[in-house]
Amino acid sequence: MILEYKLHRFEDGKTGAPPWVECGGFLPNNGDFTLIGFSPSIHEYYIPDSVDSKTVEELKARSLAIHEVTPYRNDDGSFMTEAEVEAMVQSIVDINDIP
């Protein structure tokens, strides 16, 4: 399950991913302070209804919108093409998406 979330502030004052995000911190959107994370599709715990789940295509569209404002860069410093952004997103999903 692909989730768009914001960091939580815990009782000790520190911030971090919510406990229901198993692997997160991907593709930050500095415009609204959201991040992408992953959680199993079948779970025995509550994920708030206010959390947006994304399809791979929705995640690619989100990343391309971010790329228009703050372009992603390749390792050599050059700007990524839209195809490279989509390939980067697909790679993140392939490695981290939890069925």
pLDDT, tens digit, 9 for 90 and up, residues 29-47: 999 999 999 999 888 899 9
Percentage of the residues of the chain whose pLDDT score is greater than 90: 89
Quote the DSSP letter at residue 74: -
Taking residues 38-57, report their average pLDDT: 92
Spans of all domains in the chain: 2-96
pLDDT score, position 99: 63
C-alpha torsion 61→70→79→57, nearest 10 = -10
65: part of which helix (H) or strand (E)? Answer: helix 56-69
The pTM of the full predicted model, rounded to 2 decimals, is 0.90
Tell whether the model's pLDDT for residue 98 goes beyond 80.
no
The two beta strands, 2-5 and 52-54, are: antiparallel
Distance CA 3, CA 1 (A): 6
**Distance in Å from the first CA to the final CA of the chain:** 7
The number of helix segments (H) and strand segments (E) in the chain equals: 2, 6
